[in-house]
Amino acid sequence: MTTPLLQITNLRAGLAGPPPVEILKGISLTIHPGEVHAIMGPNGSGKSTLSKVAAGHPDYTVTGGDVVFMGESLLGMEPDARARKGLFLGFQYPVEIPGVSNAEFLRIAGNARRRERGEEELDPFDFQELLDQHMKNLDMDARFKERGVNEGFSGGEKKRNEILQMAVLDPALAILDETDSGLDVDALKIVSKGINALRRPDNAVLLITHYQRLLDYVQPDFVHILMNGKILKSGDKSLALEVETRGYDWLVA
Amino acid sequence: MENKENETTATETLTETYGASEYKYGFTTPVEMEAFTRGLSEDTIRALSEKKEEPPFLLDFRLKAYRKWLTMKEPEWAHVNYPPIDYQNIAYFVKPKQKPQLAGLDEVDPEILKTFERLGIPLDEQKKLANVAVDAVFDSVSVATTHKKKLLEHGVIFCSISEAVREYPELIEEYLGSVVPIGDNFYAALNSAVFTDGSFVFIPPGTRCPMELSTYFRINTEESGQFERTLIVCSEDSYVSYLEGCTAPKFDTNQLHAAVVELVTLDNAEIKYSTVQNWYSGDPETGKGGIYNFVTKRGLCKGRNSKISWTQVETGSSITWKYPSCVLQGDGSIGEFYSVALVNGHMQADTGTKMIHLGRDTKSRIISKGISADHGSNAYRGLVRIGKNAAGARNFSQCDSMLVGAQSSAHTFPYLEAANDEAVIEHEASTSKISEDQLFYLESRGISREESVSMILNGFCREVFQQLPMEFAVEAQKLLTLKLENSVG
């Protein structure tokens, strides 16, 4: 057995408050290199909280358990350090940063990650080449380079931009929070293609989704059902299909 | 004791550097200075004019301004607060003691050359900036101007205004006070009476000035005021880009900086005037000390299709009172104002512009970005006036404010006077905060919190920074980042 990329042990966490609200009530999850995991669950089950806690959002606080990433606990680590170490969060609602050129942002972020890995930073020209290639794969227009980060992007364009960031940062583990929401079928196919193109034996993906639809395009090795802050059931791809037809209620019954 | 010359030796009070965001220009230079005793009277003005060997018309100009000033009251309408200024407690003329006429840079006090080098403005021939000609003003006088000869080969005059008074009195007599009349406002009248030095630029017809021109203002003496005067005349079909920079040492007292800048463009001429102002802004905790920056800047688009563009990045001074304006007299002329005003600590700024449309088909554009942090108070005040003959006039104004922290404030005072129905005027305004979500987004991409803040703020100011010459845009971005380092948690 290889060493896990991510090992979550009995994690309890929630909104820092005041008042504090516990949302995750003891979650354990292990992800190995080369795997694709999917977490499904109804609204309010704690899916997005899990992704934000992993990435280190300051609104959330951990009250118990541990999150170990590549052999090191993430707890107490700043969000930017987690990212440079190779953790990527694809946002459900990507934020607009007006006036900051998308290409410049991507280059700064990409180089921060390269520095961390002991690789040479890319100058604007070399970076341009890399970026053009990734954008071509995602069928993105060149004008997205010079526009402000997500500024005036449509919902679908924002999601594509998330995958572009993932491609540039080349993370060890990508947590994609409802990347499929708000996408039409064509956009979903492109985004899925982008995700699949980045899969390697040494990295992993954690998909967080409401719908089984995404899983037709990005095939998961494991599916976990999260409800009321706990993983109620884990299985393979067929579990997602079962949830699709039966809903979630039978799991608690 | 009137007008007796004093000798003062400023002592080195170089402050320790506590961290990157400390004001790093807060040192003083130990040079022998000569100064008038404090106080202002007709005799002071006569002595000043005599000292500078000025022609009679200029003494007359000064005295008229002084008499006018005596009848005027300090403006009280600005959104700023400060104790009354004692105008008799200011030294109106302070200059480094040196030979009256310098043959070359070799004769400039090496301490002063060192000062400018420390400020990043090397003046000596080997190190001077290749594409920028610099006029360096130290307290009341211009100490050196680089690239003068090369510019003269193109017919471009770039020198201190004192030198211009001696060498080109007819140009000075024609244009001085033609844009900002002596009685325009309290501070302009004071400046007209006592201005000591500054820069003069004349671009002959059909000439594109081959390099950036720049003036660097340095206040060094505690009791002094700086009253500089800048005049730029751009003849028909000519162009110049001009940049000014300013710093001052840290004192517990306030120094008054009351400058007047006049710009004139003739037919099809263009002046691009950029300012990066970083005067000492007072103690960030107590608000003690700092520069009162009470400045009158105005450009006259005299000729048809001429253009004046003001870009300012205001990051210093304890109080800023400043409205770089354009009088659009020539038909088809264009006025622009791009501004970033940053206040933190206890700084106060009341700044904006006036666009006066007189000619037909005149256009103006106002982009103002205000950033308020800590206890800073930032006000945008702008006037758009459309004259009755200004058919086809257009204005677009956009005023955005960003608040950092809960103690700061932002205010917008737009004024509009339209006497012509055909004018088109648009105004947009917004107020925002750096959101925790924006910060988290950037951080989650591996960018540090400090750099994330800097990226967001520089993005906010992008439209303005884009107007600056390349190397200064980079400097302005760094300055903004440095200034706010301690304001954003």
Task: Render pLDDT for B330-347 as a digit per residue (tens, 0 to 9).
Answer: 999 999 999 999 888 888
B21 pLDDT higher than 50? no
Query: Contact, B321 vs B295, CB < 8 A?
Result: yes
**Both tokens assigned to B284:** 């960030």
A84 touching B (Cβ < 8 Å): yes
* Residue B283 or residue B64, greater confidence: B64
Using a CB-CB cut-off of 8 Å, the residues of chain A touching B463 are: 99
**Judging by beta carbons within 10 Å of its beta carbon (0-12, 13-18, 19+), is residue B87 exposed, middle or buried?**
middle
Phi (first) and psi of residue A19, to 5 degrees: -80, 150
Both ends of chain B: CA-CA distance in Å? 53
* CA–CA separation, A84 and B138 (whole Å): 47
Query: Structural domains in chain A?
Result: 6-252 (3.40.50.300)
Residue A100 to residue B440, Cβ atoms within 8 A? no
How confident is the model at residue A90, as a pLDDT? 94
**Judging by beta carbons within 10 Å of its beta carbon (0-12, 13-18, 19+), is residue A123 exposed, middle or buried?**
exposed
Using a CB-CB cut-off of 8 Å, the residues of chain B touching A108 are: 447, 451, 455
By mean pLDDT, which of A191-205, B202-216, B221-235 is the weakest? B221-235
Rounded to a whole number of angstroms, the distance from the CA of A83 to the nearest CA of chain B is 5
Structure confidence by residue, pLDDT tens digits, B364-395: 999 999 998 888 888 899 999 999 999 999 99
Structure confidence by residue, pLDDT tens digits, A38-75: 999 988 899 999 999 999 999 999 999 999 999 999 99
Residue B444 to residue A112, Cβ atoms within 8 A? no
* CA–CA separation, B309 and B467 (whole Å): 9
Rounded to a whole number of angstroms, the distance from the CA of A193 to the nearest CA of chain B is 22
User: Nearest by CB to B459, which of A59, A100, A169?
Assistant: A100
Rg (CA), chain B: 22
Please tell me the pTM assigned to this model.
Answer: 0.80
User: Nearest by CB to B444, which of A79, A96, A98?
Assistant: A79
* CA–CA separation, B289 and B317 (whole Å): 9
* HEC letters along chain B: CCCCCEEEECCCCCCCCCCCCCCCCCCCCCCEEEECCCCCCHHHHHHHHHHCCCCHHHHHHHHHHHHHHHCCCCCCCCCCCCCCCCHHHCECCEEECCCCCCCCHHHCCHHHHHHHHHCCCCCCCCCCCCCEEEEEEECCEEEEECCHHHHHHCCCEEEEHHHHHHHCHHHHHHHCCCCCCCCCCHHHHHHHHHCCCCEEEEECCCCECCCEEEEEEECCCCCECECCEEEEEECCCCEEEEEEEEECCCCCCEEEECCEEEEEECCCCEEEEEEEECCCCCCCCCCCCEEEEEEEEEEEECCCCCEEEEEEEECCCCEEEECCEEEECCCCCEEEEEEEEEECCCCEEEEEEEEEECCCCCEEEEEEEEEEECCCEEEEEEEEEECCCCCCCEEEEEEEEEEECCCCEEEEEEEEEECCCCCEEEEEEEEEECCHHHHHHHHCCCCCHHHHHHHHHHHHCHHHHCCCCHHHHHHHHHHHHHHHCCCCC
Give the best residue of A97, A147, A166 to mutate against chain B (max B CB count within 10 A).
A97
Query: Contact, B264 vs B202, CB < 8 A?
Result: no
How confident is the model at residue B8, as a pLDDT? 27
Using a CB-CB cut-off of 8 Å, the residues of chain B touching A95 are: 435, 437-438, 441
A109 touching B (Cβ < 8 Å): yes
Closest-CA residue of chain B to A51: B444
Structure confidence by residue, pLDDT tens digits, A233-251: 999 988 888 888 888 888 7
Closest-CA residue of chain B to A79: B444
Q: Mean of the pLDDT values across residues B468-485?
A: 77
Query: Contact, B114 vs B69, CB < 8 A?
Result: no
What are the CA-CA distances from residue B233 to residues B141, B267, B300 (Å)? 21, 12, 10
Per-residue b or e along B347-372, where b marks 16 or more CB atoms closer than 10 Å to that residue's CB: bbbbbbbbbbbbbbbbbbbbbbbbbb
* A51 CB neighbour count, 10 Å cutoff: 21
* CA–CA separation, B349 and B371 (whole Å): 10
* CA–CA separation, B478 and B474 (whole Å): 6
Phi (first) and psi of residue B64, to 5 degrees: -60, -45
Task: Provide the mean pLDDT of chain A.
Answer: 90
If we measure between CA atoms, which residue out of B181, B187, B268, B271 comes closest to residue B232? B271
B127 pLDDT higher than 70? no
Laid out side by side, the sheet with A36-40 consists of A87-90, A173-177, A204-209, A36-40, A222-227, A230-235
Name the maximum alpha-carbon separation found in chain B.
68
Chain B residues whose C-beta is within 8 A of a chain A C-beta are 435-438, 440-449, 451-452, 455-456, 458-463
Task: Provide the mean pLDDT of chain B.
Answer: 82
How confident is the model at residue B107, as a pLDDT? 59
How confident is the model at residue A214, as a pLDDT? 87
* CA–CA separation, A194 and A183 (whole Å): 14
* Residue B281 or residue B183, greater confidence: B183
* CA–CA separation, B333 and B306 (whole Å): 5
A107 touching B (Cβ < 8 Å): no
A166 pLDDT higher than 50? yes
B297 pLDDT higher than 70? yes
Residue B445 to residue A148, Cβ atoms within 8 A? no
